[in-house]
Amino acid sequence: MIIILDIFLNTLDVFPRAALLTLRLTVTSLLLGCFIGLIIAFFRISSNKLLNYVATVYIGLIRGTPLIVQIAILYFGIASIVTFSQFWAGALALAIHNGAYIAEIFRGAIQAVDRGQMEAARSLGMSYPLAMRRIVLPQAFKFSIPPLGNQFIIGLKDSSLVAYVGMAELWGSGLSEAASNYRQLESYIVVGFYYLALVMLFSFLLKKLEKRMSLDTKLLD
Amino acid sequence: MITISNLVKSFGPQTVLQGIDLTVTEKEVVVIIGASGSGKSTLLRCINFLEVFDKGEISIQNKKIVPEETNLNKVREEVGMVFQHFNLFPHKNVLENIIEAPVHVKKMDKAMAAEKALQLLEKVGLRDKAYAYPSNLSGGQKQRVAIARALAMEPRIMLFDEPTSALDPELVGEVLQVMKQLAKEGMTMVVVTHEMGFAREVADRIVFMGDGKILEEGPPEQFFTNPQHAKARQFLNRVL
């Protein structure tokens, strides 16, 4: 116990900064992931066969391979052609990964909106994109918040895997800390606490968002 | 105003419309009745192209509508529709529901659209509900808002798809009242309904459908007192 506290105090110049990097990495990749997810979700529900196929293959590949493999391929494969900063290589890999899962969340949420909503909007002369943007998506967004929150937490924890391409975020710093002080167990416990704190922060924010939305959701039929 | 000829529509192996010919003239109120599964709603949904049909032709105001070549959004601006399940936008209040399409489709000025919306609400007796959300309205109120919403686009034709079927019996009257008013004002209307009293009183013409075909049509007096087709007699015996 003393040792854990000792390590905690001795790493105050390392881990908080690493935690901040983890947070930046996560937020960047999730925002990007939402963007990718929305586009892929539209591909999935599109009547265009080609777009459909692209989305299905993308989701299939991402869900079918481990994140660590995806990170490695992106880092060593693509980064050898195009130069990314380490941060962007990691963020992009995580975004592409999360994007596939978020796409399925958005697709489900869009399809959960009653068909009559789209029909009513179209019957008033609204075009498909306008009806989607003004009528369907605002409602779908509400449906997507709980699963999206779940995915955000998973995304936060999964960001630890970019440590293996040399990024000194939380887990990466934990690894090097443990290697230099030879106190593996205690160091990892401290890292665990930082993750727990970040996840609790995320959960708190998500709960708040969900609550605010549910005030509105009461207005749903 | 609307001319439908040889309209055919299938869902998979089932042909729900087997060659429909129907003409609706200006200011006419046509009420379509028939057993469920007879194709009434599908026919109505074909008129504003919510349903893609396989064969046949629809002309609206003497313009033949070819779905692939015509801007259907423009067509739908002229053809209002009221649905069985209201389909109000739950994330918008009553006023916002009504001004949504005028503002975003017709690019009408927001204040002007709101003023017009309030007039329409006055007309359907719901001016005091302008800022209520759909979930706080009764079924009858929702349907009246839905009618006001459709009217806000100033359509030439109004389609009603079983507008009172989802309502509690005591709320049916208020919706029919609004529809009667509309008919009196000279709106061209095509109504699918099970309300025989309304059909008899308001319709200029009754269209009786069965098995995807129009089996009989004529003025309500004739249809209700002296139906010609055996299936029409059978149907009337069951519902009256």
In Å, the largest CA–CA distance within chain B is: 55
Nearest to A123 among B50, B91, B134 (CB): B50
Q: Residue A107 above 60 pLDDT? A: yes
Using the structure block, give the residue that is written with the tokens 């692939």.
B68
Return all residues near B49 (Cβ < 8 A) that are at least 6 apart.
B58, B65, B67, B72, B75, B76
**Could you tell me the end-to-end alpha-carbon distance of chain A, in angstroms, rounded to an integer?**
54
pLDDT the model gives residue A11: 85
A124–B48 CB contact, under 8 Å: no
pTM for the full predicted model: 0.85
The token pair at B59 is 């002309």
| Band of pLDDT at residue A170, cut at 50, 70 and 90 | very high
Structure tokens at B76: 């739908």
Mean pLDDT of A7-28: 91
Mean pLDDT of A97-111: 96
| pLDDT at res. A85 | 81
A with B: how many residue pairs have Cβ under 8 Å apart? 75
* Mean pLDDT in residue range B178-192: 95
Q: Could you say which DSSP state residue B62 is in?
A: T
Mutation site for A-interface testing, chosen from B68, B81, B89 by largest number of A Cβ within 10 Å: B89
Beta-carbon separation of A120 and B87 below 8 A: yes
| Among candidate residues B157, B162, B156, B158, the one with its CA nearest the CA of residue B41 | B162
DSSP assigned state of B185:
T
How large is the average pLDDT for residues A75-88?
A: 79
Whether the per-residue pLDDT at A217 is higher than 60: the answer is no
Please check whether residue A40 is in contact with residue A103, taking contact to mean a CB–CB distance below 8 angstroms.
yes
Q: Which pLDDT band, with edges at 50, 70 and 90, does A216 fall under? A: low
Please, what is the average pLDDT of chain B? 94
Structure tokens at B239: 């519902």
For residue A183, is pLDDT > 50?
yes
Per-residue pLDDT of A33-47, as tens digits, reads 999 999 999 999 998
For residue A138, the chain B residues in CB contact (below 8 A) are 91
pLDDT given for residue A215 in this prediction: 63
Q: What is the mean pLDDT of residues B18-32?
A: 95
B88 to chain A, any CB pair closer than 8 A? The answer is yes
pLDDT digits (tens, 9 = 90+) for B81-98: 999 999 999 999 999 999
Nearest residue of A to residue B74, measured between CA atoms: A125
E strand intervals along A40-182:
none
Amino acid at position A35, single letter: F
Sort A211 into a burial class: Cβ within 10 Å, 0-12 / 13-18 / 19+.
exposed
**What average pLDDT score do residues A185-196 get?**
94
Element spanning A139, H or E = helix A137-158
Average pLDDT over residues B167-177: 93
Q: Closest chain B residue to A214 measured between Cα atoms? A: B91
Q: Tell if the CB–CB gap between A216 and B91 is shorter than 8 Å.
A: yes
How many of the other CB atoms lie within 10 Å of CB of A210? 16
Contacts of B159 (CB under 8 A, 6+ apart): B44, B47, B48, B79, B80, B81, B82, B189, B190, B191
Who among B76, B80, B90 is closest to A219 (CB)? Answer: B90
Helix residue ranges, H only, chain B = 40-47, 72-78, 94-104, 110-123, 139-151, 169-184, 196-202, 220-225, 230-239
Which chain B residues contact residue A127 at CB under 8 A?
73
Share of chain B above pLDDT 90, in %: 90
Element (H, E) at B207: strand B205-210
- Residue A221: pLDDT band (50, 70, 90) is very low
In chain A, what percentage of residues exceed pLDDT 90? 69
Task: Tell whether the model's pLDDT for residue A184 goes beyond 80.
Answer: yes
The fraction of chain A above a pLDDT of 70, given in percent, is 96
Q: CB within 8 A of B200, min separation 6: which ones? A: B220, B221, B224
Residue of chain B nearest A115, judged by CA positions: B87
